[in-house]
Structure 1
């Protein structure tokens, strides 16, 4: 039986990468944000997590709109860092979990999730703005990245993301692997970076969302894309990726312990962080 240690939800944004690489961790405008991740960093180490399944969306780096899959996963010994226009960031390649990854892919296919399998993958800020905040850059935790389309119509529904998470949770529960696994989702929270509502942020909704994702995720699973967009702006549809993370916990966990919860809205997006430990 696999060990699902818990789950993490985190915003992702290019600005996080820029601030991290520029060593702005102690600057007043960034210190609250970076400090919030240290307890989660410490928790992952204390729990001896070996594998992290990361739910994210690619921002036209691994995929282009001429072939943009609904669901895709990276199964590779190592994955590269994407060059998002200013050169690839100065990190070592990210280690993958190939044996567990192939087993997961077969299980998802049996549950009728037709994944695009990428044996070569480059990870953009959807993963890499968050990963260095969660672990040392020696990368002691192997990664299985799962991309979900939240950019190009037609999008999967929130309920479909919830179902994907439940399928991942069943796999972890039933696998014979002894891996210690955390499921992480990145994206959101409220933001709109184009059009008449440029710069829109809704802290009240963001905090309500984190309440619901913890205690009543089924309510969010029944929502529509329009529900998310109305409350959080066009790009906030990324928030439904957190449902995948939470769905995994719903299959294996009787109760949850909140390791960390943080919210901050100083710029063009609501930054959220939520770490939940599974208590079986």
Structure 2
């Protein structure tokens, strides 16, 4: 039987990747962020997930503005490291879980009526890799967990609603619990928090909104699922709409908060919250 053992909401700021690759994690500007993940890694070592479902958005590496699915699920044996224009990062290929991801695809489409794009091949980029880097140390040619990429459209309007994303998380939980094999699953909702990367509000951040969002995610996620795209973008910047992917995580992961951290040194509110499933 499959089991959700935890959930993580976290930002996927692209500059984290080069900082890791160049061994700059202990520089003053970055140390508070990376130090916050030390207890998270210790917690993950205790709960021992063997699969991570990573909910993220493709930044036009696999898809384009002309062809962008609402939800896309990877069902491949492995996932290559994508090139975002600066060469591929020196990271191991990501092992998939064909059996569980195929079960998820069938359950989400047939039983829960989510119309997914099913992907036999994906090249994962910073939206996926930064969360993996922060949470899972890798040695040699492998990661410590298998992974299933789940892409959500937060790029090309119309976007799925926050409630639809929350319901997707609930459906994922149901599907995992119906899985006949053994799987200890952690669900990662990525993106945000407050930020805007263009226009007159470039560099906009709103810590009070970010803290409120994490408060609600912990105490009343069902109510938070009613938030509109317009509310998020007005209060937290255009790209903060990525936060609807945290609701997918919370729909799947129940239980109490374990960790919480917030750091906003530059252009993006970098949030972190974890839940240990009861």
Are 1:265 and 2:269 an aligned pair?
no
Give matches, 1:17-166, under 5 Å.
17-110=17-110, 111-137=112-138, 138-166=142-170
CA distance in 2, matches of 1:166, 1:154: 22
Q: Secondary structure at the match of 1:242?
A: helix
Who is 2:208 aligned against? 204
Report the TM-score, using the length of structure 2 for normalisation: 0.96
Q: Secondary structure at the match of 1:67?
A: coil
263-272 vs 211-220, greater mean Cα deviation: 211-220
Report the TM-score, using the length of structure 1 for normalisation: 0.96
CA distance in 2, matches of 1:3, 1:159: 23
Cα distance, 1:25 vs. partner?
1.0
Please list the CA deviations of residues 162-216 of structure 1 after superposition, one character each: whole Å capped at 9, or x if unmatched: 1111100111222222100011011000000100111100001101100101111
Cα RMSD (Å) of the superposition?
1.0
Runs of at least 4 residues of structure 1 off by over 4 A? none
Q: Secondary structure at the match of 1:238?
A: helix
Who is 2:193 aligned against? 189
Who is 1:244 aligned against? 248
Please list the CA deviations of residues 32-82 of structure 1 after superposition, one character each: whole Å capped at 9, or x if unmatched: 100111111121122121001110000000111221111001111110111
Q: Secondary structure at the match of 1:46?
A: helix
Cα distance, 1:271 vs. partner?
0.1
Gaps of 5+ in 1: none
CA distance in 1, matches of 2:137, 2:166: 30
Please list the CA deviations of residues 221-252 of structure 1 after superposition, one character each: whole Å capped at 9, or x if unmatched: 11111111111011100011100000112xxx
Contact 2:193 2:269 in 1 (8 A): yes
Q: Secondary structure at the match of 2:66?
A: helix
Who is 1:275 aligned against? 274
Q: Secondary structure at the match of 1:182?
A: strand
